[in-house]
Amino acid sequence: MTTASTAPAAATTWSTRRGAFAQAASMTARSLVSIRNQPAQLVEFLMIPLMILLSITFFMGGQMMGSWQAFLDYAGPALIAMGLFFAITTTGLGLFSDLKSGVFDRLTAMPVSRFALLAGRVAADMVKHTWALLIVGGVAFAIGYRSDGGAAGVAGAAAVILLFLFACSWTMVLVGLTARTEDQIQTWMISLLMPLAYTSTIFVEKETLPEAVQWFAAVNPLTSLAESMRVFLDGGTPGTELLTLLGWCAALFAVFVPLSLRAYRRRLTS
Amino acid sequence: MRHAIEVRGLVKSFGEVRALDGVDLAAAPGTVLGLLGPNGAGKTTAVRVLSTLTAADAGTARVLGLDVASQAAQVRERLSLTGQYAGLDDALTGEQNLVLIARLLGASRSRARARAHELIERFDLAHAASRPVEGYSGGMRRRLDLAASIVRRPEVLVLDEPTTGLDPSSRGGLWAVVRELVAEGTTVLLTTQYLEEADQLADSIAVIDAGRVIASGTPSQLKQTVGGLVLRMRPVRPEALAQLRDLADWTVGAGGREEDGSLFVPVAHAGEATALMSRVSQAGIDLSAFGLDEPTLDEVFLTLTGHRTGADEKTEVAA
C-alpha cells in the first residue's frame, strides 16, 4: 500500500464528509427539483386524494348519512387522509423506477449512506403529501367543511396524518425494493391498502360494520388515525386513539426501516 | 501494491447461468485494462463486482489493495463507476446532476457548483448545462456521465461499454478524455465490444468469452498470438481476386480471405509479402491499394474463440 496515495487522490478532496441526513437532504432536493422541471407532477399528485374526497362525498355521502354535507362533516378529513394513504404507492413506484435506472447504480457505487438514498425518496414524497394535504384541505373548506377545533385542531389533525404517512411510506420502500414489476406494486395497493381503509372508521361508524370485522376495525391503524383526527378537529385532545396511533407509527418505523435496508443490501448480493 | 485492480478466480452464477467462471484480471496503477468480449460474455458482471454492486460467489477482487466484499465502503471512496446505462437523472439538468453528485460526496454548495461548471466546460456541455438530460443526444449523455464519474477524481475508474452506440466522432472525443485521465494517473478498467477501442486505449487486454478469460496480454502480444502479418491487396478489377488467391496459395501456402473487394493474406514476415507482391506484379495484376498490417483484434478473437464478436456479425451480414 505504499504507492496508494499517488497524484489523483490529492486532486479533489473535500474536507468534510456530510452525514447521512445531509445526504438524504440532497436526495430529497433532487426529487423535488424534478418537480420544478416537470411541474405537471404537482397536479398528478393531487388527483387521487382530490377525486376520492369529491366523488365519495358527492356521490355516496347522501346515501350514507342523509346529506352530503353531513357526510363531509363526519368523514371529510378522514377521506383526505385515505386519499393520501393510497398515494403512498407513489413512493414504491418512484423507488422502483429509480432502482431500475442507471442513477441508482451510480449512487449505490458511491460512498453514500443507503439510508440516505431511501430516506431522500420518502422525504420528497412527504413534501408532495404536504402539498396535496394543503390543496385538498382547501377544497374541503371551499365546499363547506368547518372544524370546531380551530387552527390548533386543524394543525393537530394535519400533523397526525403526515406522521402516519411518513411511517407507512417505509412499507412502500420495502415494496419498491422487493417488487419485480410495477404491476405488483399496483396490486399491493388494491389488495392491501383498500381493504385496510374500508375496515376502518374512515367513513363509517364502527357499529355499522359487520360484527366479525368490528374487532379488526378497532385495531386498524387507520381507525386510530381517523379517530385522532376527529378529536382534534372537534376541539378536543385525543387520548388512547392518539397513543395507539403513535404506537403503530413507532412499530412501522422499527420494522420497515431495517427491513428496507436489509432488502437494499440483499439486492447487492443477488 | 503492485496492482490497482486485482481479480482472482472470480465466480458468479445467476441461476443456471455462470456469468463469471473463474476470472483473473490485473491492472497496474495508472494503466488501462481493456476487458474485451461480446454481449453476454460476463463483462458487466465483472464490472458490478468490482464496483461493489454485486457480490461474487467465489474468488477475490481487490481495488487498490482493498477487498471489494469486506472493504466495500473504502472501495467506494476511491473507485468510480460509469455504467453501461447512463447513471444520470433524466429529469435533472446536466448541471443539477453534477451538483447532486458533488453534494453527496460532501462538497459545499458553492464548491459543488464551481466543480460542476469546471466539468461542464471541460466536457463541452456549456450549451446544454441548464437543459434536462432527457433531451440530450447519446454523445452528450455519455460525456455528462463520464463527467459525473470524475466529480471527485477517482483513483480507479470503471467504464462499462462507454462508447456503445456512439458515432465515430463522439467516440473519439470520449477516448481523448479517457487518455487525459490516464495521463493524470487514474487507473481505468474499460469494457468494450469494439476491438478497435481496446486497441486504441488499453495497455493490456483481457479477452473474455462465456465468463472466462481466454487470452490476455498487451494488444501487440495478442496480435502475435495469431502470428505474423497480414498482406492486404485490392485489385483494380474485382475479377482478378481469384487469380490473386491462386498466386497467394502458391507463394505462401494460403489463399487468404476476401472482404470488401480486398484479399487478406497471412504472411510470416515481410520477406514473404515482398515475394508475393513481385509475383503479383509479374502476373500483370494492377492493384489499387495494398498494405502490410498487423492482424486486427477481430482476427485475434476469431482465432481464440472460433467465432466472431457480436459487433462484427452485423457487418458480415451487411457485406
Which domain-ending residue is among B201, B218, B235?
Answer: B218
pLDDT reported for residue A16: 56
Q: Does the beta carbon of A7 lie under 8 angstroms from any beta carbon of chain B? A: yes
pLDDT in tens, A126-185: 999 999 999 999 999 999 888 888 899 999 999 999 999 999 999 999 999 999 899 988
Give the number of domains in chain A: 1
Predicted confidence at residue B227, as pLDDT, reads 66
Residues of chain A found within 8 Å of residue B111, distances taken between Cβ atoms: 14
B16 and B139 co-located in one domain: yes
Q: Is residue A200 part of a domain?
A: yes
Identify the bridge partners of residue B230 per DSSP, sorted by sequence position: B266, B293
Sheet holding B32-36, edge to edge: B79-82, B156-160, B187-192, B32-36, B204-209, B212-217
Residues B202 and B261 in one domain: no
Task: Note whether A49 and A87 are within 8 A (CB).
Answer: yes
Which of A56-65, A77-86, A207-216 is the most confident on average? A77-86
Q: What's the pLDDT score for residue A270?
A: 62
Q: Is residue A14 part of a domain?
A: no
| Shared domain check, B197 and B280 | no
Predicted pLDDT of residue B193: 86
Instruction: Count the residues in chain A.
Output: 270
Within this chain, do residues B82 and B149 fall inside the same structural domain, yes or no?
yes
* A92 and A185 Cβ atoms separated by less than 8 Å: yes
Mean pLDDT of successive 10-residue stretches along chain B, which has 319 residues: 90 91 95 91 93 93 95 93 87 94 93 96 93 91 93 94 86 90 94 87 92 90 76 90 89 80 85 90 90 77 67 37
Of residues A51 and B40, more confidence is placed in A51
Question: Among B218, B248, B273, where does a domain finish?
Answer: B218
The contacts of residue A215 (CB under 8 Å, 6+ apart) are none
Is A222 among the domain residues?
yes
Provide the residue range defining the domain that includes A55: 20-29+39-269
Answer yes or no: do B172 and B242 share one domain: no
Residues B150 and B169 in one domain: yes
Q: Are residues B114 and B260 in the same domain?
A: no
* Beta-carbon separation of A23 and B104 below 8 A: yes
Is residue A4 in some structural domain?
A: no
Would an 8 Å CB–CB cutoff place A107 in contact with chain B?
A: yes
pLDDT of residue A142: 93
End residue of a domain, out of B190, B218, B246: B218
- B107-146 residues touching A, CB cutoff 8 A: 107-108, 111, 115, 132
* Nearest CB neighbour to B29, from listed A3, A17, A112: A3
Q: How many distinct structural domains can be found in chain B?
A: 2
The answer on B258 and B182 residing in a single domain is: no
Domain that holds residue B247: 224-318
Nearest CA in chain B to A5: B155
Tell me the chain B residues in contact with residue A17 when contact means C-beta distances shorter than 8 Å.
106
Q: Where are the alpha helices (DSSP H) in B161-240?
A: 168-183, 195-201, 219-226
